[in-house]
């Protein structure tokens, strides 16, 4: 059986396109196949998608086989919750953010079939929200789900939010990636913030080498995996 890797580029927004494109180029330099682009409709409430080079790039990547994923609505949580957007919100608010996020990306010409919550903060109401919004799949940190199926899908990623996480996460992520070698499908999470710290950038490249070259994984999409 082939082992798969789902390369997920997080926090795709107008202001992060250069870094997202840089990560996408690093992936393309090592392997063909698709990546998942986790797009925020209105990052921090102030970055809507307007016609221009960024939106054109996204549409071109989608036409080439990359997967456009809804990644929250504003990627900004309630006071005291950082960027865990859905955490602690009333069910009706969770429903509205998923529905309105998909509709906003549709108006920008981006077809979306899947959802991943910012920071993987996925409350129970998010399952219902995804179903009602017509999502074909949604994912948590450890699983991939659809209205009719569930698959184990552990995630490997780095942490840039605090000095301690920036220092400790590279070694922890390498160890986790190697420990997951027997698992059929693994998600690799890469963030624009990783490129702002030389240690995290290097660690991200090492994770790509472990999963692609060392373990011989083949790139896949969430939609493809849940369909299989």
Which CATH number does the domain housing residue 172 bear? 3.20.20.370
CA distance readout (Å), 146 to 91, 103, 193, 226: 19, 20, 30, 7
- Stated pTM of the model: 0.95
**Distance of alpha carbon 73 from alpha carbon 111, whole angstroms:** 15
Per the structure, the complete domain to which residue 71 belongs is given by 4-227
Going residue by residue through the chain, which has 228 residues, state the pLDDT in tens, using 9 for 90 and above: 689 999 999 999 999 999 999 999 999 999 999 999 999 999 998 888 999 999 999 999 999 999 999 999 999 876 667 789 999 999 999 999 999 999 999 999 999 999 999 999 999 999 999 999 999 999 999 999 999 999 999 999 998 888 888 889 999 999 999 999 999 999 999 999 999 999 999 999 999 999 999 999 999 999 999 998
What pLDDT score was predicted for residue 83? 87
Q: How many domains does the structure of the chain reveal?
A: 1
What pLDDT score was predicted for residue 80? 63
Report DSSP letters for the chain, one per residue.
---EEEEEEEEE-GGGHHHHHHHHHHHHHH--S--EEEE-TBGGGS-B--SSHHHHHHHHHHHTTPEEEE--SSS--STTSTT-TTTT--HHHHHHHHHHHHHHHHHTT----EEE-GGG---HHHHHHHHHTT-SEEE-SSEEE-SS-EEE--EEE---SSHHHHHHHHHHHHHHHHHTTTSSEEEEEE-GGGGGSHHHHHHHHHHHIIIIIIS--EE--HHHHHH-
What pLDDT score was predicted for residue 226? 92
């Amino acid at each position: 059986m082939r082992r798969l890797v789902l390369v997920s580029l997080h926090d795709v927004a107008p202001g992060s396109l250069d870094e997202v494109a840089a990560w996408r180029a690093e992936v393309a330099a090592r392997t063909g196949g698709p990546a998942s682009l986790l797009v925020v409709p209105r990052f921090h409430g102030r970055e809507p998608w307007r016609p221009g080079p960024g939106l054109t790039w996204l549409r071109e990547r989608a036409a080439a086989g990359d997967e456009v994923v809804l990644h929250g609505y504003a990627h900004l949580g309630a006071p005291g919750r950082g960027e865990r957007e859905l955490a602690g919100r009333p069910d009706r608010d969770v429903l509205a953010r998923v529905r309105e996020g998909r509709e906003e990306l549709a108006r920008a010409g981006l077809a979306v079939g899947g959802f991943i919550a910012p920071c993987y903060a996925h409350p129970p109401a998010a399952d219902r929200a995804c179903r009602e919004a017509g999502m074909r799949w949604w994912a948590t940190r450890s699983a991939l789900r659809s209205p009719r199926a569930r698959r184990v899908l552990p995630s490997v990623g780095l942490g840039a939010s605090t000095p301690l996480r920036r220092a400790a996460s590279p070694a922890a992520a390498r160890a986790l990636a190697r420990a997951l070698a027997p698992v059929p499908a693994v998600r690799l999470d890469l963030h624009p913030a990783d490129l702002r710290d030389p240690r995290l950038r290097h660690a991200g490249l090492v994770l790509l080498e472990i999963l692609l070259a060392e373990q011989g994984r083949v790139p896949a999409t969430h939609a493809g995996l849940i369909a299989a």
